[in-house]
Amino acid sequence: MIKAIEKLLKELSKRESSGTVFNPYRDPGQLNNLREYLNYLVKHPFPVMLVGESPGYKGCRLTGIPFTSGFVVRNSPHRMFEEIGKKIILEKEVSESTGTIMWKFLGKDKPVPILWNSYPFHPFRRRKPESNRKPTSLEVQEGIVYVKMIFEIFKPKIICSIGRVGEGILKETFPGMDIRYIRHPSRGGKNEFMSGMESVFQISDIGSEI
């Protein structure tokens, strides 16, 4: 697993940034942060993979860890941050709503899913790096290469699409799996997101169903 993680990190770090895409993994600190997170997952396996859209400029763009923010890393009571928090390198500690909602659900000791994005780099509007835009279909196609690598490392038994962006390509890529949809927590979707997460965690607690 460790060799496969290092291969993934190397591939992520190669991708050049552009006028509309920022690659946080060109930064050694954020590459380190992702390594710490993935190594934590190896030590604390949980067979659920949650695939979001792409990093946000206040969240994963700054931390390198999907569905987090600097505020979450430094303030969440979850046991993961107790274990790896001091190893996480941050330049900014801002808050981001999606990450905050995710870790509010996970609380102090819920198992940590394999959190990833359909497109692992930050897409933004031209000349506006502090903005977010949905990844294009071509970008999602590019991103599926890394989704496959994550899948091969962790072999999840349940895959969920957080939001609709990656749902279709996940179904194409993993035709033998039941791809579940969970409402994205943004734009008033918090309550539906929470109930969707609860249902997935209930299923994952029943070993015969996964």
Domain region containing 150: 2-209
CA distances from 66 to 69, 77, 176, 210 (A): 9, 17, 25, 24
Q: How confident is the model at residue 196 (pLDDT cuts 50, 70, 90)?
A: very high
Which CATH number covers residue 70?
3.40.470.10
pLDDT per position as a tens digit, 171-193: 999 998 989 999 999 888 999 99
- What is the maximum alpha-carbon separation in the chain? 51
Average pLDDT over residues 114-138: 97
Write out the two tokens for 175: 């035709």
Which residue has tokens 């946080």? 24
The pTM score is 0.94
Over its C-alpha atoms, the chain yields an Rg (Å, rounded) of 16
Q: Cα dihedral sign for 25, 30, 31, 37? A: negative
Domain count, the chain: 1
Write out the two tokens for 173: 């890529």
pLDDT of 208 reads 37
SS3 (DSSP) at 57:
coil
